[in-house]
Structure 1
Amino acid sequence: MKKKVLIITYYWPPAGGPGVQRWLKFVKYLPGFDIDPIIYIPENPNYPLIDESLISEISDKVTILKQPIKEPYKLAGIFSKKSSKTISKGIISDNKKQSFIEKIMLYVRGNFFIPDARIGWVKPSVTYLEQYITQNNIDTIITTGPPHSMHLIGLRLKERLEVKWLADFRDPWTTIGYHKQLKLTKISKEKHIALEKQVLNTADQLIVTSFTTKADFQKITGRPIEVITNGYDYEPVNEFKLDSKFSMAHIGSLLSKRNPEILWEVLRDLIKEYNDFSKDLELNFIGAVSEDVLNSIKKNNLSNRVNEVGYISHKEAIVFQKKSQVLLLIEIDSEDTKCIIPGKLFEYMVSNRPIIAVGPKDSDVEKIIKQTNTGAYFGYDDYESLKTTILGHYKAFQNKSLQSHPIGLQKYSRKQLTMRLAELIK
């Protein structure tokens, strides 16, 4: 008989973006390890990104529970549809460029909705799930955040019922980069920290996606912590041809602070120095791009090389990963972002295309790229080495020999990662 486990998550198809992929794939493979996943999600969520194609990946045998949620972002849209939409996507303008409305919305979001805008869903969810868990003899629950309100649902259920609780942190809580932009008062900061500490010290098992996050959490709690990174799945794609241009693709949001000016400067200088490079370069941005990034690109005379594709389905993004000559991975240059390992990294790694990553030095991403031999990693001041690497890739492109040579990728497959999760559940 399969073991039943209740998974409490906000993001679920038709939600798009990286937040949905992790548990969609776990749920796909858990039945193969004698675990029957039951999903609890909001009935009427306000997802900033939609990807209808992901619905086809959900087995019709999976039990899905839904309860209504009151979404403050919908109300905020009455005052400023643009600001509410960008903030819900995590795109926050630089302080000096924020409008008055955006400043007010950030202040309200940070201080009136703790830990996040889905806090109002906690109480009705606990009432509903307490009865469901009791009636269906469920002894294990999993919460996954952000939004970290999901962990508060787990916390309240743990207080009321004798259940095993696994808390999965796809991103950190109080140390994540955007947390500092929420204009928190001292009291609000203390409340966030207190809630985080309570969750970390109450859950039976903590799961994190990076070793840096594990080390940070170990300073707060003695509870067991397991690192289960995101990973890749084998994605069938139709026939495709490599781009004829020297295409460099970034898949995902390019936030205001995720702006590698050193990269734009290198590309500007290579265009000046090499006529062929000037003719061949193409920049493809798949996902939202902030005005700050576009302005930096314009300043370096690269705007005519840019193709803003915008948000596309996950399946379409996989095709871009496989046909692009080079894949770009950009992270904010901050101590807080050393622990961030984007889910797309693992899909990049199996695309057979070389990765060029720019981010904070000594990050978890840097370690993984070096261990798997899937690309090159640069700090925000590594001008010469970045320039040399891009020029080397361009020459290999001209010789039709540009590709990556990965090693040791199997441990990052979704099935292998689910096996490790199953061991924790049992």
Structure 2
Amino acid sequence: MKKVLIVTYYWPPAGGPGVQRWLKFAKYLPGYGIDPVIYVPGNPHYPLRDETLLAEIPSGIKVLKKDIFEPYAFAEFFSKKDTQSISSGIIPKEQKQGFIQKLMLYIRGNFFIPDARKFWIKPSVKYLSAYLQENQIDTIITTGPPHSMHLIGLRLKEKLAVNWIADFRDPWTQIGYHDKLKLTESSQKKHEQLEKEVLQKADTIITTSFTTQKEFRKKTATPVEVITNGYDVEQVKRLPMDEKFSLSHIGSLLSGRNPENLWRAISELISENENFAKDFQLKLIGAVGEPVLESIQKAGIEEHLALKDYVSHSEALQLQRSSQLLLLIEIDSEETKGIIPGKLFEYIVSDRPILAIGPQGADMEKIIRETNTGSFHLYSQKKEIKAFLLEKYELFQKGELKSFPIGLQQYSRKALTGKLAQQIRNF
């Protein structure tokens, strides 16, 4: 059985979507004749934790750990809340930032390149160089963000000439929050230079979106393949369907994801339709940015809002399947059209219709349309959003609201692992 070393920062008990991708690949790779060895930090700073995911680590898998130094512990001395928010990617608008937030963003962007996990690179290269040679492993995979994982791969490639696959779950210099890091000109050039080195020296690049694939193909002659995130067949106890006409967003709702026309459309429906006003509930589960809450309040629909903090993965699946409608939102920007949220794939197998809102040309629109699992709208399309909500509400009243998906198998974690295994076997 061929061995492959996987370098990842996120691993149980980390919570959030970042951990799911490689946890599931590790689960299914042995079925394709590949034995994964996982390398993770021994003492990581995870902004979200989900202890239930520890039970999902495949039995018998080799997990290597080495401690990491991260500056977040010092940053928390000044503001634990701001540290957790920034490390999660929740960055308030410029005019809403206090002095401490601005300072932390400046330090994060200019002193920790490519990110605050940079101090793990050197000791990891030393440790893994010996391990790879002693165990005759000639293929490695790095997954980011954090993109410092790719610099571990880069150094091992230069030192040992190993086969190297670089997996980008999100872009690097084109990720939505990159321009909010208050970068100096020299820091921006450093990010761009490191990204260029990784893209040119890896043997294969994997992205999770079609847009990122196109962007990277303009920057490198290295093969760039798309392996999206996906869904796993997971048995969870079904909760009763919500009695309310619930519209649920499950996961962090960052400040930039604020579809004000959705809140206005809901407000109008509440004003115009007495039954809708009685039945409707907006459920936001996970961290929510203050600008989002302010917009909801401004639209006058806060009395229909139910807030709940971060929940475990299994509870998230339960809430998805018991909601009447599922809400998926991406930032309205050119830089985010290639982001396909991991929860989309959980949504499409939940049997619940999806209301998605995002930028023009968003990759997630293609998947929603091809799988017949919901409707995608631009931020500006208040009239269309309102019509969709009313149509689904009328089906809810009749007891006929559900999803009718097609072609989902291609997005199963097992099928996607088959695509990854083929890339590994190419060496």
Q: The TM-score by the shorter chain falls in which range?
A: over 0.9
Q: 1:333-352 residue pairs with structure 2 within 5 A?
A: 333-352=332-351
Match of 1:4 in 2: 3
| Cα offsets for 1:132-185 (capped at 9, x unmatched) | 000000010000000000000000000000310000000000001100100000
Q: Distance in 1 between matches of 2:354 and 2:27?
A: 28
Q: Distance in 2 between matches of 1:319 and 1:80?
A: 34
Match of 1:394 in 2: 393
The 3-state SS of whatever aligns with 1:249 is strand
Q: Distance in 1 between matches of 2:217 and 2:236?
A: 41
Shift of 1:63: 0.3
Q: Distance in 2 between matches of 1:162 and 1:77?
A: 39
The 3-state SS of whatever aligns with 2:43 is coil
| Cα offsets for 1:210-241 (capped at 9, x unmatched) | 11000000111000111000000011011321
Match of 1:324 in 2: 323
> Aligned residues, how many?
425
The 3-state SS of whatever aligns with 1:38 is strand
Match of 1:291 in 2: 290
The 3-state SS of whatever aligns with 1:188 is helix
Q: Is the 8 A contact 2:91 2:254 kept in 1?
A: yes
1:13 aligns with 2:12: yes
Q: Distance in 2 between matches of 1:239 and 1:11?
A: 28
Match of 2:211 in 1: 212
| Cα offsets for 1:258-287 (capped at 9, x unmatched) | 000000000000000000000111111111
Q: 1:271-420 residue pairs with structure 2 within 5 A?
A: 271-420=270-419
Q: 1:99-248 residue pairs with structure 2 within 5 A?
A: 99-248=98-247
Match of 1:23 in 2: 22
| Cα offsets for 1:24-46 (capped at 9, x unmatched) | 00000001111110000000000
Amino acid corresponding to residue 243 of structure 2 in structure 1: S
Shift of 1:302: 1.2
Q: Distance in 1 between matches of 2:32 and 2:251?
A: 32
1:93 aligns with 2:92: yes
Gaps of 5+ in 1: none
| Cα offsets for 1:368-418 (capped at 9, x unmatched) | 111111100000111111111100000000000001111111000000000
Q: Distance in 2 between matches of 1:238 and 1:360?
A: 35
Shift of 1:361: 1.4
Shift of 1:289: 0.2
Q: Distance in 2 between matches of 1:150 and 1:387?
A: 43
The 3-state SS of whatever aligns with 1:177 is coil
The 3-state SS of whatever aligns with 2:177 is helix
Amino acid corresponding to residue 406 of structure 2 in structure 1: I
Q: Distance in 2 between matches of 1:85 and 1:363?
A: 28
| Cα offsets for 1:57-85 (capped at 9, x unmatched) | 11231000000101111110001111111
Amino acid corresponding to residue 182 of structure 2 in structure 1: K
Structure-1-length-normalised TM-score: 0.99
Greater Cα offset, 190-199 or 54-63: 54-63
Q: Is the 8 A contact 2:238 2:321 kept in 1?
A: no
Query: Displaced runs of 4+ in structure 1, greater than 6 A?
Result: none
Q: Distance in 1 between matches of 2:36 and 2:27?
A: 9
Gaps of 5+ in 2: none
1:36 aligns with 2:35: yes
Shift of 1:324: 0.2
Greater Cα offset, 296-305 or 7-16: 296-305
Q: Is the 8 A contact 2:356 2:377 kept in 1?
A: yes
The 3-state SS of whatever aligns with 1:357 is strand
